[in-house]
Structure 1
Amino acid sequence: MTTKEERMTFLQEMEGVRKIRKPNRADIKKPTELTPGHLERQRAAQAQPLVDRNPLTADVVEPLTSHDVLSWQRPGVQHGVFRKLRLGQYPIEARLDLHRLTVEEARREVYRFVRDCVHYGVRSMLILHGKGERNPDGIAQLKSYLAKWLPELDDVLAFHSAQKHHGGTGAVYVMVRKSDRQKTENREKNRNR
């Protein structure tokens, strides 16, 4: 228990102390004035429009239905190689699912996917695009665009609608060219024979 004398000493020591009225939080407001450097960066960013390096076009395409078969090969692809691709006899090394994507999202994903596959040495892949059976007009929109986009990519050698167990006409096998690293390795391997 405190004595009267201790209480009086405490009150004398606390004389002039006031309660803090502001909340106990740091003031993190952004400065309202923009620095010259900030203004210059902002001006430069607005002056340079973003360059879309994606070569895939998103203009008008030939509409395809759920039952249409996709089939294409670049000149020079051997018939045996294309036949093996068509029959799904190459191992699927990568997959891309385009279900529920918009055309623009699919355009970006297809471009990035093919570019990454070539970079990492993936030769055969499966792209799931869906059949468009739920569309009231019966048009398989992503499939239609994919049929246009794949030949536009120089890295794509061939593609064909998948076998039934891999999605049938709702998916497509794609074969891409060898990466520069793979070509060099093949040359070295064949040189030593």
Structure 2
Amino acid sequence: MPRALSVWSYVKAANILESLMDSTLSRPKMSRNPTDNQDSDDDSALFREMVGDVKPIEQNQADSKAEPPKARPRQREADERQVLQDMLSDHFDDSLETGEELSFLRAGQQKRILKKMRRGQYAMEAELDLHGYRSEEARPALVEFLDRSRSNGRRCVRIVHGRALHRESGPVLKPLVNSWLRQRGDVLAFCSAPASDGGAGAVYVLLKSAN
């Protein structure tokens, strides 16, 4: 058990500490006689008893050599989107257009998927309205919309392409959207929306899961 220390011991220890600091900073090293050594040992023992074990403070500084956080590969994503956009051909086969209704089912998918889509049994999670778009504007908009939808985990989406009933030559975007969707491998199925949700002027699209 450490012995109890009087007030005088604390005062003496403080004086010893001050004396040691002054002697270290200002006095040259000199040879000391045995009596001095004995006094020094006693003073050191008292000082250690007062302050206890002392540990050096660890350095806690920021590492200036740490690697900066990596930036998001936005340019790479933009390049990949551009490649996908360029791969979509504007050429379409007239035989793909079967009247007013559009319909497509990727090979290997169950037919009941289209039935459920036609009945509106899939909740639409996102929508793209292409009204007023020219064909050269609609294609990149469609590519970006589908990519963003998949990235956000949305699989059932609605695309409004319009009917353009005032045009004698027929709708412009509808056959293009029909062709573009078929060219994308992540599109599992699509069909014209029910009459209550756009009818022949819109299409429901089922996307492959991003996972």
- Measured against the shorter chain, the TM-score band is 0.5 to 0.7
**Structure 2 portions without partners, runs of 5+:** 1-80
Match of 2:186 in 1: 155
Match of 1:29 in 2: none
- In 1, Cα distance between the equivalents of 2:82 and 2:187? 20
1:140 aligns with 2:171: yes
Match of 2:90 in 1: 58
Match of 1:94 in 2: 126
Match of 1:172 in 2: 203
Shift of the alpha carbon at 1:145? 0.3
Judged with a 3 Å threshold, the aligned counterparts in structure 2 of structure 1 residues 64 and 155 are, in CA distance, closer, same or farther, namely: closer
TM-score, normalising length from structure 2? Answer: 0.57
SS at match of 2:189: strand
Judged with a 3 Å threshold, the aligned counterparts in structure 2 of structure 1 residues 151 and 112 are, in CA distance, closer, same or farther, namely: same
Judged with a 3 Å threshold, the aligned counterparts in structure 2 of structure 1 residues 118 and 141 are, in CA distance, closer, same or farther, namely: same
Quick one: which amino acid aligns to residue 164 of structure 2? G
Shift of the alpha carbon at 1:60? 5.1
Shift of the alpha carbon at 1:104? 0.8
1:124 aligns with 2:137: no
- In 1, Cα distance between the equivalents of 2:113 and 2:168? 37
Contact 1:71 1:161 (C-alpha < 8 Å) held by counterparts: yes
Match of 1:185 in 2: none
> Taking every aligned residue pair, what percent have the same amino acid on both sides?
36
1:70 aligns with 2:102: yes
Contact 2:92 2:179 (C-alpha < 8 Å) held by counterparts: no
Alignment of 1:14-29 (within 5 A): none
- In 2, Cα distance between the equivalents of 1:62 and 1:97? 24
- In 1, Cα distance between the equivalents of 2:136 and 2:95? 17
**Number of aligned residues:** 129
Alignment of 1:109-120 (within 5 A): 109-120=141-152
Quick one: which amino acid aligns to residue 195 of structure 2? K
Contact 1:97 1:128 (C-alpha < 8 Å) held by counterparts: yes
Quick one: which amino acid aligns to residue 125 of structure 1? V
Shift of the alpha carbon at 1:136? 2.6
TM-score, normalising length from structure 1? Answer: 0.62
- In 1, Cα distance between the equivalents of 2:122 and 2:107? 20
Q: CA RMSD in A?
A: 2.1
SS at match of 2:196: helix
- In 2, Cα distance between the equivalents of 1:79 and 1:63? 21
**Structure 1 portions without partners, runs of 5+:** 1-50, 181-193
Quick one: which amino acid aligns to residue 103 of structure 1? S
**Greater share of helix:** 2
1:82 aligns with 2:114: yes
Contact 2:103 2:190 (C-alpha < 8 Å) held by counterparts: yes
Q: Report the structure number with the largest CA radius of gyration.
A: 2
